[in-house]
Structure 1
Amino acid sequence: MKVLKFGGSSVKDADRIKLVIDILKNQKEKYTVVFSALGGVTDMLISMSESAAEGNSDYLKDFATFKERHIEVAKALLNKTIQKKVIKGLEGNFLELQNILEGIKLLLEATPRTMDYVLSFGERNSAYIIANALTQRGVEADYLDARKIIKTDKNFGSAAVKFKETNKSIKEHYDKNDNVQVVTGFIASHTGGLTTTLGRGGSDYTAAILGAALKTKCIEIWTDVDGILTADPRKVPEAFTIPIVTYEEAMEMSHFGAKVIYPPTIQPALKAKIPVYIKNTFNPSHDGSLISNKKDKNNKPVKGISSISNIALLSLQGTGMFGVPGTAGRLFSSLARESINIILITQGSSEHSISFAIQPKEVKKAVNVIEKEFEHEIRSGSVDKVKREEDLSVIAIIGEHMRETPGIAGRLFKSLGQNGINVIAIAQGSSELNISVVIKMNDEKKALNALHESFFLSETKSLHIFMVGVGLIGSTLLDQINKQRQILIDDRALDIKVVGIANSRTFLINENGIDLDKWKSDLKKGEQFSMDDFSKAMVNLNLRNSVFIDNTASSIIADKYEFILNNSISISTPNKIAASSSFKYYEKLKELAKRRGVSFKYETNVGAGLPVLNTLKDLINSGDKINKIEGVLSGSLSYIFNSFTAKDKFSAIVKKAQELGYTEPDPREDLNGGDIKRKITILARESGASLEMKDVKVDYLLPKSCRDAKTVEDFYSELEKKNDYFRDLITKSEEADQKLRMIARYEKGKTTIKLESVDSDHPFYGLKGTDNMIIFTTERYKELPLVVRGPGAGADVTAAGIFAEIIGISNSFS
C-alpha cells in the first residue's frame, strides 16, 4: 500500500479534482488518499471567524460564497443521484458551521478550540465530495474523518499526536476496511472527542502519520510544482527540481521556508524509513523529488536555498552577561513559557550578546517577557534593553555534502558581498548541514538569485545591463551584444541581459530583458526620462550582477556615479567627466567601488577600444615607474590632420569628421583640446599624480573667434573665415615633410597640450586615420619606450571597448 496526499491547489475546483481522480484511477497498487480543503477555503474560514469575532455580519457574504463554492463543485463532479445525497450531507455541515459562527459573533471571541472546529469543515467537505466522486468513477472508496483515527493532545492550533493510541486506531480501522479510504487531512481529535488540528500544512503530516502506522511502501505528496526545487520559483525563476533529497536536508529546507512539504511530515517517515515522493498534479509524468536515506550521487555540496521572509531579530547584550552561567537558559526558558517560537539563534564567543530571530507579530510580547526576566540586570546597567531589528529575512543554504567541501561559507559571503548585501547575523550548526544568514528583507530576492547562480548555475552567469545613451556608441553596443549574446552563452556561459535603456527623452525597464531586436520602438513607448527616476528604478529593481553603462558626455549622469556605486552597481563608461573632474571626486569613486566590491571601469575614456589604462596599470602594479607619457589622444584630431592637406578647406574636414561620428557633438570640445585635456588628466592620475584639470597647460589650436562662437553653427561660420590660417599651417608642415599632431605630454609633474609638427623619424609621424598613440617612457622602457597604437575614435571601437569591460566585470562575479 501507499499513501497519496493532494493539497489545496490540486483540489481548487472541479476541473482540478477531475485531474486528481484520473491520477488515482491509474494507480496500479492499493492506496489510501488524503485531501486538503479546496484551495483558499481555510483562509476563508479564518476570515469568517475573525469577522464574526469582531461582531461584524460581513462574514455572512463569505459564508454564502463558501456554501455556493462547495455545491458548485459537487454538481460539476456528481450525477444527480449521488449529488442529491452529497448536497444533503453538505447542508448539514453548512448549518453546523453557521451556528458556530453565530456563536462566535455573540461571544465576540474565537478561541483556539473553536477555531480548530471551524477549520475542520474545509477538509471534511472536500474529502466527502471527492470520496463520492471516486465511487461514481468506479473506485470503491469510503470517506474517512481523520478525527476517528488520529488522536492528539489539546494544544489547539498545532496539536501533538499521541502516536501509540493513533497507530493502534489506524491499524484497527484499515484491518476492517478494504475499500480506498479518502481521509481528511489536517484534522484530528483529542481522546475526549474535541476537534484539533495539526498546524497549517498538516495534511502532509496526516499522510506521514498514516504511512508510518501502516508501514506503507511510500508516501506521495502531490502539489503544484515538480517536486522540491533548488529555491522558491516565485523568487528565483531559474530554480529547478532536486531529484534526490535526504530526510535531514528536507527537514532543513522545509523549516527554512520550502513550501512543498510541512516540516513535521518528515519525522514519521524518517523513523519508519518510508520514502516520500513530491509530485506535481499538473505534470504527473514528471519524476518529482524523492526524500529518503538515499544519497545523491552528484555530491553537490549545496542542495537547496531557502528563505523565511519578514522576520525580526532581537538581541540581548551587556557586560553583565560575560561568563555568567544560566543567562541563555533564563532567556530561552522565559520565551518558551510564552510559546514564542525561535527561528534562529546566534551568539558571539565573547558571550557579550545573544541574538535570535522570531516572527514580527511576537516581538512586543518577546520584548516584554525578556525585560521582565532581566529586570534587575537592566536596572543595574549590566544588561541593555532588548535591541530589535525588523523587516529582515533569513536565507539558508542547505546540503549534506557541505561538511565535506571547504570554501562553501566563503563562496556564500563573496556572492552576497559582490552584490552589496550586508549580513546582519550568521548561524551554522556543528553538523554543517545548514548555513543561515540574516539580511534586510528588501535584499532577499537579490540574495536568493545571486546564491542560486553561484551554487547551481555557475556554468551560466547572468549580467544585468542598464544603459543611458543609445546614440551612435550606445546603439552600436546594443547591436554588438545582440549579435554576440548566444555565442557568449554557448562559449563562455555568460548571459548578458539588457534590462534598462534610456535616451534624453524616455527610458525603458524590463527585469526579464529588453528585446534587442525592437528596442528602438519599445523605447519610444517608455516613461519620461530623468536620471533620478532611472537610477532609482535601477536600484529598486535590486538585481544581482548589475552594470551601469553611461554612453553620454553629460555631467548630470556622471554626478550619479556615487549613488550608483554606493548601491553596489558596477559602472563602465566612455564618459570622461567623472574620472577627470575634481581629484577628490575621482578618488572617492575609486574608493567607493573598492569598498562596495564592484567595478568602476573607464578604459574607453582615453583610447576608445585601446588597452591604454590597463597597460599603465600593469606597469605600475609590476613595480615599474612612469617617467613620461606622450600621446596623440584624440582620434578625431588624428583623422582631421591625417585628412587635411593644403588643397582642402579645414572647415570641410572638421565637418566631415563630425558627420562620421568622430568628434563630440560640438567639435570645439576636440579642437580646443578639452577632450585631450581630460584624457591626459586621467592618464596622469592613473600614473599616481594628484592632478587637476586646471593644472594642464593648453596651447589653443582654434583662434579666439572660433572658441567664443555662441553656437555650433556660429562656430562653423567663424571657422570658414579662418581656412587660410589653417592652410598656412599645413603648407609649412608639408614643405618641411612633417605632419601636424596635437600632442599631450605629462613629465615631471607638468602637463601640456599643443599642436606640433613632427618629422618622419618621430613615432607620431606614421599615424593613419583615427589612430591614437600613447608612448610610455618608464624605468624599464627607457631606451625603447612602450607604445600603444590603434584606432582612437569611432562608435565600433568604443562600443567594443565597453563590451570588453562588461565581459571583464562579469569575471569578478562569483
Structure 2
Amino acid sequence: MKEKNWQVFKFGGTSLADGICLERVCALIHQNSSSNLIVVVSAMAGVTDSLSKALQTKNLEPIKPFMVLYRKTIGKLINNPEVIKSLRDSFMSDISRIEQIFASLESSQLSHAEKSIIIGFGEVWSARLLVSLLAENNSQDPLKREIHELNAREIINVSHGEMGPIVDWNKSKLGFEKENNKTTGIFVIGGFLATDLDSRPTTLGRNGSDFSASIIASLSNAESVTIWTDVDGVMTGDPNQVSGAKIISQMSYDEAAELAYFGAKVIHPKMMSPLIKKNIPIFIKNTFNPNSLGTEISASSNKKQAVKGITSIDDVALVNLQGTGMIGIPGTTNRLYSCLQAAEISIILITQASSEHSICFAVKNESANLVEQVIRKEFRQEFSTGDLQNLQVQKDCNIIAVVGSGMSGTKGIAVGFFKAIFDAGVNVKAIAQGSSEQNISAVVNQKDAKNAVESVHSAFFSNSIDLIIGILGFGNVARELFNQLQQQSKAIKTDSDINIQVVALANSRRMILKGSAITVSEIDQLSEEQKSEKSDLNRIVDHLVSTKGAIKVVVDCTASEDVPNMYKLFFSSGIHVITANKKGLSGSIELYDEIMHYSKSNHKSFYYETTAGAGLPFIKSLQDLILTGDTVHEIEGIFSGTLSYLFNTYDGSIPFSKIISDAKDQGFTEPDPREDLSGMDVARKLVILAREMNLKINTDDIDLQSLVDQELDDLSVDGYLEKLKDYDSEMQNRFQQAHKKNKVLRYIARLSSSGVATIKLEEVDSDHPFAQLNGSENIIIFKTERYSDYPLVHRGSGAGPSVTAAGIFADLLMVSIQLDRLKGPNVD
C-alpha cells in the first residue's frame, strides 16, 4: 500500500482542548499536501482524567463540566443542524452507556473491558467531532479530500505482557486493510484504543495515542509520522528547569529513546519500536507555532553534536546493598533482581562496584519501603550471618542524564558533565554509563537537582553565562555598581558572553525582587512602599535560587554585622558571595572560619578584594605572593582614603578641625567623621590582611592610636566638630615638629609576619612614598623574601564609590571566569 504515500498526523490533548484549537488543527490538516493522511487524535485536554475519576466514583459527576463544554463546542464549530443533532445524540448515547455500565454493576468491580470502553470515550468523542468539522470545512481543503472515520478497535489487536501491549501485527494488518477498503483521503482515528485477542475492548495505556500513531504508520507503510503537541520540538533541557533550552533539530531513534526513558515527556518510548523497524521518521511540531523548526527523529544522527540533551527523573530512591559475602558468590545479583521483579518493582538505574562488594540501584520513591522489605526478606539469612552488612535506602533523589550518540569516542564529555555538577556545588551519590556510551547518568539529592541541571545544560549548550545578581545595601557604592553594570552589560555580553542580570535589590528596610533584570527606572521603587517589599534575606535567597541562570551571586555592600552571618546560607544555597563589608572578615575568628569553611565545602566563590583596598588589589597581590611560595615579612601602608586626604591636605595653615568639617561637607568622610578618625576601619582592613597571612588576630590585638579623644565619643556630630576646635593646637604642634625635621604626618598601618600590628599617626621623611600621596590615595608596601631590596608597592585611589564599585565589578567578572567550563558543540 506504499504507493498511496501515506502520512500520519497525531494530535495531543492540548492541541484539541477547545473549539479554537480544533479549528487550528483543521487548518493544519488542510495545509498537508498528502493525498492520504491518517489523523490520530487523543482525548481533549483533561477528559481522560475526568473519565478516570468517574471510574473511581462510579458516577458522572467528574465529567459533567466536560459534558457542558462538549455540547457547546459542537454548537460553535458546526453549522449544519442535522450534524449538530447527530453529534449530540451520539454523545448522549455514549453517556447513557456509561450510566448503564455503572447501574448494572453487581459488585464494586468493573471488568477490564468495561473500564476500557469508558476510559476510551475521550478519543472517540475527539475523532467524531473532528470528522464532522473537516467534512463541513472540506471546501477549504485545496485537495478536496474525502473524510473518513476509522474504528481503532477494528484495526489494532493486542495482547498484554509484562512490558505492556504486544501488537498482533497479522490481525492488525487485516483489520487496517478491511477498514481502509482501498479508499483515499483523510482518515481520522481515535488513539489509545485497541481490541484484545478475544475481541474485547482494551487500551494501549496512558500516552498510548503516540503508540497508536506508530502502529498505524507501520501498518500503512507511511512516509512519516508528525506528532503535533504544545512545544516546539524536543528540547535540550526542560524549559521549566533551565534557561536557554534549545530545539534539537535532528536526533536518532536511540537518542530519543534514551531521553524519553530519562523523563523527556515529548515522546513515548514504546512508540518508536514499530517505526524503527520500517525506518519511518518522526517529526515533533508545535500546533500553536507550526512554523517553528521542530525535531526530526530518524535512524541517522548528527554525531558532530556530541550531547543532544539533558533530562532528569524526579522522586527517586537510591538503594545500596553492601556486604563482603557478595564477593565471588554467583547468583547474588540474580536473586536480588528476581525478588524485585516478583514484587513488580521497576529498577531505573543500576551500578555495581567492580569488587562485587556492593550493588547500587535506583527505584521510584513510592517503591522504596517495599524494596527494603523484599530485600530483607530474600536475604534474611545473609543479614543474620553478617555476609550482608548494610542496606541503605535514600529517598528524594534525582537522576540527571546527558544523552547523545556522538558521546561515544568523544573525549571530555564525562569531565564536562561532572565538572558542571561540581561547579553547582552538588554532590554525586552514584553514576552509571550505558555500554553504548549514549548516556551518562548521575544521582543527586532532589533539592540540588535544579541547580545541577541548570549548570550541566549551561556547560554543554549555553554560548553565554547567565550571571544572576542580588545586591544588598543600596547606598552610594551599590548605586554606582548598578550604573557600571548597566553601562557595560552590552559590551561584556558581546566580548565575553556573560549575560548580567540584577534581579534583587535591598536596603535595610525595603527590597525589589524581579524575575528578569531590574532596570534603571525601577531602582527608585526601593523608597516606595507600594512598589517594593519589606527586606527579607531568606526571601532574597529563595528568589535567586529559583531564578534561571547558571551563576547566582550576592553582593554585600552593607556595613551590617548581621549580613555576614547569612553567608553560610548563601553558600549552601548554591550562591556565590562578593563582599565589600569588612564586618564578617574582621569579626570573630569563629565567624571568619565558618565563612571560609562554607565557601570551600559548597564549592562557592568568595571574593572580598574591596574590603581592604577598594579598587586596589591588596588582597589578590598578597594571595598571589603566598601561593607562589614567597615569604611576606612585613606589610605597611595607608589604608584610609579619608585619613590620607586629611593629612595630605593639612599644611598647618588651616585648622585641622576646619579641614575635617569641610571634608565632611564634601562627602569625603563618613556622616560621623569619628568613624574614620577612630582608626577602626583601618584596623578591620589590617585584620583581613593578617588573616590572609594565617595570623589569627582580632582588632583588639592591634596597637591602635585613635584620633578621637575618649571625652568626645558621646557628643553629637555637630557637638564633636565644635569641640574638636579645642584640639587644633595639639595637631598644629605635631605638624610643626615634623615640619622642622623635613617630615610629614601620616596615619600608617603596619603588620609583621610575627603578628605584631600597629596603627599610628607617624612622622615620615618628605621623600618617603607615603609622603608623595595625593588626595585620597592609598598605598601598600609588601616587604617579602623576593621583594626585599625593592618592595612591591601598590598606590592609587583607595576610596570613593566609583573605584570601590569597580573593584566589586572586577570580582563579579572573576566569578564568571573561574566558573567558565567546557562548552559542548552548538545545537544546530
Q: Does 1:722 align with 2:727?
A: yes
| Corresponding letter in the other structure for 1:738 | K
2:465 aligns with one of 461, 464, 472: 461
Q: What secondary structure does 1:517 align onto?
A: helix
- Distance in 1, matches of 2:290 and 2:370, equals 45
Q: Give the TM-score normalised by structure 2.
A: 0.93
Equivalent in the alignment of 2:479: 475
Q: Spell out the pairing of 1:378-777 with structure 2 (5 A cutoff).
A: 378-383=383-388, 386-457=391-462, 459-521=463-525, 524=528, 525-531=531-537, 534-535=540-541, 538=544, 544-706=550-712, 708-749=713-754, 750-777=756-783
- Distance in 1, matches of 2:440 and 2:104, equals 48
**CA 1:365/1:616 → structure 2, altered by over 3 Å: closer, same or farther?**
closer
1:24 aligns with one of 24, 29, 37: 29
Q: What secondary structure does 1:811 align onto?
A: helix
- Structure 1 range deviating more: 375-384 or 763-772: 375-384
| Cα contact 1:347–1:355 (8 A) shared by 2 | yes
- Distance in 1, matches of 2:527 and 2:547, equals 18
Equivalent in the alignment of 2:292: 286
Q: Does 1:68 align with 2:68?
A: yes
Q: What secondary structure does 1:663 align onto?
A: coil
**Which whole-Å deviations, capped at 9, do the CAs of 1:554-585 have from their partners, x for residues lacking one?**
11112222332233322111111222223343
**Which whole-Å deviations, capped at 9, do the CAs of 1:723-754 have from their partners, x for residues lacking one?**
33333333444455432210111125221111
- Distance in 2, matches of 1:527 and 1:361, equals 40
| Cα contact 2:47–2:63 (8 A) shared by 1 | no
- Structure 1 range deviating more: 121-130 or 402-411: 402-411
**Which whole-Å deviations, capped at 9, do the CAs of 1:605-644 have from their partners, x for residues lacking one?**
1110001111122222222211221101111111111222
| Cα contact 1:235–1:448 (8 A) shared by 2 | yes
| Cα contact 2:37–2:185 (8 A) shared by 1 | no
- Structure 1 range deviating more: 527-536 or 408-417: 527-536
Q: What secondary structure does 2:210 align onto?
A: helix
Equivalent in the alignment of 2:347: 342
| Cα contact 2:423–2:455 (8 A) shared by 1 | no
Q: Does 1:261 align with 2:262?
A: no
Q: Does 1:788 align with 2:794?
A: yes
**CA 1:588/1:534 → structure 2, altered by over 3 Å: closer, same or farther?**
same
- Distance in 2, matches of 1:227 and 1:390, equals 32
- Distance in 2, matches of 1:535 and 1:241, equals 31
Unpaired runs of 5+ residues, structure 2, are 1-5, 139-144, 822-828
**CA 1:667/1:300 → structure 2, altered by over 3 Å: closer, same or farther?**
farther
Q: What secondary structure does 1:518 align onto?
A: helix
- Distance in 2, matches of 1:763 and 1:114, equals 95
Equivalent in the alignment of 1:56: none
**CA 1:303/1:648 → structure 2, altered by over 3 Å: closer, same or farther?**
same
| Cα contact 1:418–1:596 (8 A) shared by 2 | no
**CA 1:729/1:19 → structure 2, altered by over 3 Å: closer, same or farther?**
same
| Cα contact 1:617–1:686 (8 A) shared by 2 | yes
Unpaired runs of 5+ residues, structure 1, are 53-58
| Cα contact 1:134–1:140 (8 A) shared by 2 | no
- Distance in 1, matches of 2:518 and 2:379, equals 57
Q: What secondary structure does 2:601 align onto?
A: helix
**CA 1:713/1:383 → structure 2, altered by over 3 Å: closer, same or farther?**
farther
- Distance in 2, matches of 1:97 and 1:515, equals 58
Q: What secondary structure does 2:521 align onto?
A: coil
Q: What secondary structure does 2:167 align onto?
A: coil
| Corresponding letter in the other structure for 1:728 | N
**Which whole-Å deviations, capped at 9, do the CAs of 1:358-411 have from their partners, x for residues lacking one?**
223333443333333223323444335743222222211111111222221222
| Corresponding letter in the other structure for 1:677 | A
| Cα contact 1:50–1:110 (8 A) shared by 2 | no
Equivalent in the alignment of 2:85: 84
**CA 1:441/1:696 → structure 2, altered by over 3 Å: closer, same or farther?**
same
| Cα contact 1:224–1:281 (8 A) shared by 2 | yes
| Cα contact 2:262–2:313 (8 A) shared by 1 | yes
- Distance in 2, matches of 1:146 and 1:316, equals 47
**Which whole-Å deviations, capped at 9, do the CAs of 1:328-383 have from their partners, x for residues lacking one?**
21222222233322221222223233232222333344333333322332344433
**CA 1:752/1:222 → structure 2, altered by over 3 Å: closer, same or farther?**
same
Q: Does 1:196 align with 2:197?
A: no
**CA 1:660/1:111 → structure 2, altered by over 3 Å: closer, same or farther?**
farther
Q: CA deviation at 1:497?
A: 1.5
| Corresponding letter in the other structure for 2:347 | I
| Cα contact 1:116–1:156 (8 A) shared by 2 | no
| Cα contact 1:508–1:523 (8 A) shared by 2 | no
- Distance in 2, matches of 1:809 and 1:564, equals 15
Q: CA deviation at 1:511?
A: 3.6
- Distance in 1, matches of 2:541 and 2:251, equals 42
Equivalent in the alignment of 2:142: none
Q: Does 1:797 align with 2:803?
A: yes
Q: Does 1:151 align with 2:151?
A: no
**CA 1:542/1:144 → structure 2, altered by over 3 Å: closer, same or farther?**
closer
**CA 1:492/1:186 → structure 2, altered by over 3 Å: closer, same or farther?**
same
| Corresponding letter in the other structure for 1:87 | R
Q: What secondary structure does 2:786 align onto?
A: coil
- Distance in 2, matches of 1:577 and 1:748, equals 23
- Distance in 2, matches of 1:269 and 1:181, equals 20
| Cα contact 2:503–2:517 (8 A) shared by 1 | yes
1:182 aligns with one of 185, 188, 193: 188
Q: What secondary structure does 1:356 align onto?
A: strand
Q: CA deviation at 1:722?
A: 2.2
Q: CA deviation at 1:807?
A: 0.3
Equivalent in the alignment of 2:107: 107
- Distance in 1, matches of 2:548 and 2:300, equals 38
**CA 1:178/1:543 → structure 2, altered by over 3 Å: closer, same or farther?**
closer
Equivalent in the alignment of 1:307: 312
Q: Give the TM-score normalised by structure 1.
A: 0.94
**CA 1:440/1:153 → structure 2, altered by over 3 Å: closer, same or farther?**
same
- Structure 1 range deviating more: 747-756 or 626-635: 747-756
- Distance in 2, matches of 1:591 and 1:63, equals 58
Give the number of aligned pairs. 804
| Corresponding letter in the other structure for 1:772 | N
| Corresponding letter in the other structure for 1:205 | F
